[in-house]
Amino acid sequence: MSDSAAPAPGSKAKSDSEWRTVLNKEQFRVLREKGTERAGTGKYDKHYEEGVYSCAACGTPLYKSTTKFKSGCGWPAFFDAIPGAVTRHEDRTFGMTRTEITCTACGGHLGHVFKGEGFNTPTDERHCVNSISLNFGDDDNAKKE
């Protein structure tokens, strides 16, 4: 396993070579190398169906559609995750301090959390998530596409 995303013990962790066999090149760049897709290009930015968003790498349910909101940022935005599904880490890249979010089960990079932006949500948080890090299903049993 690479140092780029260290998942919890007993997780769905794989080595980078194992991840390369199950993820396409862009998924690997974002989920394993902490990349970011271009704003406004992801398939879930303007997606508002009822269901569950799961990790594109391991299939773990991460977000319910009831927590998704229109932020105008160019990436899917959620105000909260399914309890225990997302882990927060301090990210000091690019000369700033941000809060990175990863899938608790596999360590895959999802995006970042921003607080205090004034959105009318119960948490006043925006989980800014790369669409390529997600899959969508119509219920809590959402699995990897």
Question: Which residues belong to the active site?
Answer: 128
Give long-range contacts, CB 8 A cutoff, 24+ apart: 20-28.
Answer: 22/57, 23/56, 23/57, 26/132, 27/56, 27/57, 27/132, 27/133
122, with CB counted inside 10 A (0-12, 13-18, 19+), is exposed
Rounded Cα distance between 126 and 113, Å, is 6
